[in-house]
Amino acid sequence: MQTHIRSKDQIVLALPSGLLKILEIQPHTNISIGKFGTFSANLLLGRPYHFTYEILDQQDGQSDSQLRVVPPSELNAESLADVVPTPNESRDEKIETDDGCEFEIVGENGEVIMRNNRLTIDDPSRQALTMEEIEELKKASTGSGKEIVAKIMAAHSALEEKTSFSLAKYTLRKTKKYIRRFTVLPLDVGMLSQIMLEKDPWRIMELREETLGLIASWANIHHSGFDGLHPLEGTQGAGRWLVLDDTGGLVVAALAERMGILYPTDTSDDEPTTSDPTTTANSPEPAPRIVHPRTQSATNNTLTLLHSNAQPNISLLKHFGYVFEDPSPTHPLHTHLKTLTWLQLLDPTADQLYREPPTIPDETLATLKSGKRGAYHRKRRRWERVKRVADETAAGDFDGLVMASHMQPAGVLAKLLPLLRRGAPIVVFSPTVEPLTELMDLFSRERKAAFVRGVQGREQGDGAPPFDEADFPVNPTLVLNPMLQTARAREWQVLPHRTHPMMTSKGGAEGFLFTGTRVEPAEGRVEARGKFQKRRKVAAGDVSGAVKEANSALKEADEAIKVSEMVDEGRDTYEDLK
């Protein structure tokens, strides 16, 4: 977690309206929030995150405003106010969620308009507001916000007194729009997913934050504990995941965040203002001369991104300081993110980048112009990288696969399952359920059994039905415990006497995950055990009728042919119910 706001950080300003705005903070520039006002970026630099500021009125002769940190006590004052229960909750809610048109109080010039007749409350006793609250409210608002509140108070003081409480209550909420506050948040993956979901959900396959969390868990994403660029003995490297990402890089970012390779280590000039052992431990030791490792050369904690265009689309990583076309050599993704095309993986020799460019002897090279020499070296280095990444990917032994792509999962798994080490997790995300029900079906118990029968039949040449490869686009015995799931977080409002789920939220794609584990079947004939034996006993003592016994015997026979999968409890319960 970032300790303080550093220059060139991407930060998020959260406005009272709920608007989230990303900006890159540059020293000695002004930040302007529309009619809220303009202030210097220097007022935020070096300060902690998560502070809420209020833009103060400009002093005479100044082009920008000062900021005031709003203390939490002031921020929380409103929510702590214990009001009399409001029986008619729906009314309250409606006013809260309106966008200002229905319930306009203050016009552009600050005059009170009161366009909405909701302000004339029929039953004011439900809208009690204590005098303390009103005082608190006045205190809370300074600058133009304060003015507005004052005006509203003045305006409704003409109303009956009991109404004034309720009006004040509403005003308190509505002035959120006018009190010129904002909160500074760090731009991390969760925040970016939230912003993208609002702005451009299709670009990120409508992937919600709760689903990102599930993906990271089921794919067992973590730091390997080994930082070095050299692999552990006897392994390809520790912590290597294979990724397909059609979310513009959001999934890569989420995984990288969990692997500790998303955020550049702090090398900026502005050190934290409070000395803290934990942060100084973070900064790298001053090295006499920094030799940057080659691009995509790390062996531990790596993500290998397979893409179907010439270039991967991971442009969202720019928010974390990584640009694929021009990576900063100090960014961890520069070494830890590896990219290759499907062609480079499956038919490398057909890719010209994979083919070795001709070597030029040193003597000849020395005679070349420096530009040409540079181009030659660049070409060689690119070839070396492409070849290295393609070869090590083809060698497999990956620790897991995460797929968030529009491609058809079955074909992808058919090619990639062999590249996973045994026991490695497989996670496939889809915004809609259909591609994943199809995938689940490819691993159904019955299909698996048919596959094994088919393979055995082909080997032994018994009279089994012909084995049609098309029915088995992926070897169903390579995946254990296939599972389909979905999750959705529902937000609640928690206020004294007014606690309830939010009245509205975003619809759209539900978002599903297929998960499973890459395994290797034992050689030879394998038969399941379990219910099978219990049944036999039951059946033997059963006198309740031939049909029942026949059924049980059938099931038993069925169990016996089940070759690669244990009884799926869910399925069995379902069948038993029928």
Partner 1 sequence: MSSRKPSPFFTPGPTTYPGSLAMLSLKRDLQMPVVLQTPNPTDPTASVIHTRFGSFPHTTLLNIPWGSQVIASQQSKRDAARGKKRKRGTADAAPDDADDNDSPVFETASSGFVHVLPPTPELWTAGLQHRTQVVYTPDYSFVLQRLRVRPGDVVIEAGAGSGSFTHAAARAVFSGYPGEGAEKRRLGQVFSFEYHEPRCESVRAEIAEHGLEGVVEVNYRDVYEEGFTLGPEAPRADAVFLDLPAPWLALRHLSRTEPSPLNPATTTRICTFSPCIEQVQRTVTTLRELGWTSIVMYELQHRRLDVRRELVSVAYDGLRGVNSNAASVDEALTRLRHLEEKTMEFHGKGKDTDTPAKKEKKGKDAVGRDKQEAIRRRERELQVWKEGRLVHRTEQDIKTHTSYLTFAVLPRAWSKEDEERCRKKWAVKTDTEDSNGDVTMKDDDAEV
Restricting to residues 40-79, name those near partner 1 by CB under 8 A: 40-43, 45-52, 62-64, 69, 71-73, 75-76, 79
331-390: contacts with partner 1 (CB under 8 A): none
Closest among 254, 242, 300 to 426, alpha carbons compared: 242
Q: How far is the CB of 454 from partner 1 (least distance, A)?
A: 10
The DSSP secondary-structure symbol of 359 reads: P
Binding of partner 1 by 452 (CB under 8 A): no
Q: How far is the CB of 58 from partner 1 (least distance, A)?
A: 12
Taking CB under 8 A as the criterion, the residue among 88, 408, 527, 536 binding partner 1 is: 527
556-575: contacts with partner 1 (CB under 8 A): 557-558, 560-561, 564, 566-571, 573-575
In this chain, which stretch among 137-145, 159-167, 278-286, 382-390 interacts with partner 1, using CB under 8 A?
278-286
Q: For partner 1, how many residues bind (rule: CB under 8 A)?
A: 161
Binding of partner 1 by 485 (CB under 8 A): yes
Tokens of 63: 């082009």
Q: What does each C-alpha distance from 378 to 326, 357, 371, 373, 389 come to in angstroms?
A: 14, 11, 11, 9, 16
State the angle between helix axes of 546-561 and 531-540 in degrees (0 to 180), rounded to the nearest 10.
160
In this chain, which stretch among 313-321, 323-331, 404-412, 521-529 interacts with partner 1, using CB under 8 A?
521-529
How many degrees, rounded to 5, is the angle at CA 510 between CA 508 and CA 512?
145
Specify whether the CB–CB gap between 169 and 129 falls below 8 A: yes
**Nearer to partner 1 by C-beta: 50 or 377?**
50
For residue 406, how far is the Cα from the chain centroid?
Answer: 17
In this chain, which stretch among 165-173, 231-239, 288-296, 357-365 interacts with partner 1, using CB under 8 A?
231-239
In this chain, which stretch among 120-128, 326-334, 344-352, 546-554 interacts with partner 1, using CB under 8 A?
546-554
By rule CB under 8 A, what string of x and - marks binding of each residue 410-439 to partner 1?
-----------xxxxx-------x---xx-
Binding of partner 1 by 471 (CB under 8 A): yes
How buried is 422 (Cβ within 10 angstroms: 0-12 exposed, 13-18 middle, 19+ buried)? exposed
Hey, what amino acid is at 231?
P
Q: What does each C-alpha distance from 243 to 130, 131, 148, 318, 487 come to in angstroms?
A: 57, 59, 53, 18, 22
The DSSP secondary-structure symbol of 44 reads: T
Supply the DSSP string of 168-231, one letter for each residue.
HHHHHHHGGGTS-EEEEEE--HHHHHHHHHHH-GGGGTT--HHHHHHHHHHTT----S--SSSP
The whole-angstrom separation of Cα 513 and Cα 432 is 10
104-133: contacts with partner 1 (CB under 8 A): none
Binding of partner 1 by 529 (CB under 8 A): yes
The whole-angstrom separation of Cα 134 and Cα 183 is 24
Binding of partner 1 by 484 (CB under 8 A): yes
Hey, what amino acid is at 365?
L
Q: How far is the CB of 196 from partner 1 (least distance, A)?
A: 9
254-273: contacts with partner 1 (CB under 8 A): 257-260, 270, 272-273
Binding of partner 1 by 289 (CB under 8 A): no
Binding of partner 1 by 446 (CB under 8 A): yes
Q: How far is the CB of 40 from partner 1 (least distance, A)?
A: 4
126-185: contacts with partner 1 (CB under 8 A): 183
How far apart, in Å, do the first and last CA atoms of the chain sit? 53
**Nearer to partner 1 by C-beta: 383 or 532?**
532
